[in-house]
Structure formats: C-alpha cells, structure tokens
Amino acid sequence: MLRLKKGIDTCIFLLSFTSLEVNYSQWSLDKHPFYSCNRCRNPVALRDNLLSKAFKAHSGQAYMFSEAKNFVLGENKVRQLITGRFVVADVYCNNCGEVLGWKYLKSFNVSQNYKVGNFIIEKAKVLKEYA
C-alpha cells in the first residue's frame, strides 16, 4: 500500500498497486533524456515518448506522453477540461506519492479521441535529466 497525502488536506488516499508498478531498470536510459519526479527523482517518462509540449495543467505548462512508468493511477473521474469532457485518472509517483498529472481514459468528443491512453505530466512536477 502507498499512502498519499494531498496538500494540506487530511484526506489520505490508499492505493494498491500491482500491475501499474514498473521498475525503471527495464528502460534503457543510456544516453537517452528522460523526465523524473522533481520531488524524488524517480524516472517517469522517456523523452522519446514525448508527444507534445502544448498542454496546460493546474500549475501551467504540461507535456503529453504516449507512455509513462513508475506511477500509480488514481480513481477514474469525469472532468471538464479546456477541450471538453473526459474520464481521467490522476497519475502519482509510485515512490513519493506526488501528483504528476493525469491519464486520459475516455473522451466524450470524437475529435479528442487521440488523447485517450496518453499521459499529461505537469512541467512543474518533473525534471529533465540525461543518463
């Protein structure tokens, strides 16, 4: 079990992670830039999987990735975002519990279906690193 405490709230999320936990040693980080959690430096995404830098999130600029690792998905929620309504799940670092962004699970607008299955990671929550 991973205990996640969100901000100053007293709400504690208990998340069980099994198939979502991925060891970054499976990645070939040799000479490849990657993004890691800015709180604990846990690698979460490879630069090769970066699809776009043109997204917005709570803290400002965000990146869209086709794949992420070392995360835990939160509960599915329907959210009204800038481009429409989506079913999303928050993405948490599996090491420190920091909320990094979200994953698109479903779009209610056909023109936005390209986002489904992709990850939005907030720029303020990650560091770009080189192996």
pLDDT along the chain (131 residues), means of 10: 40 35 51 92 96 93 97 97 96 97 97 98 96 76
- Sign of the dihedral through C-alpha 94, 65, 43, 26: positive
Query: What pLDDT score does 97 carry?
Result: 96
pLDDT > 90 in the chain, percent = 73
Query: What pLDDT score does 32 carry?
Result: 80
d(CA 87, CA 110): 13
Query: What pLDDT score does 27 carry?
Result: 55
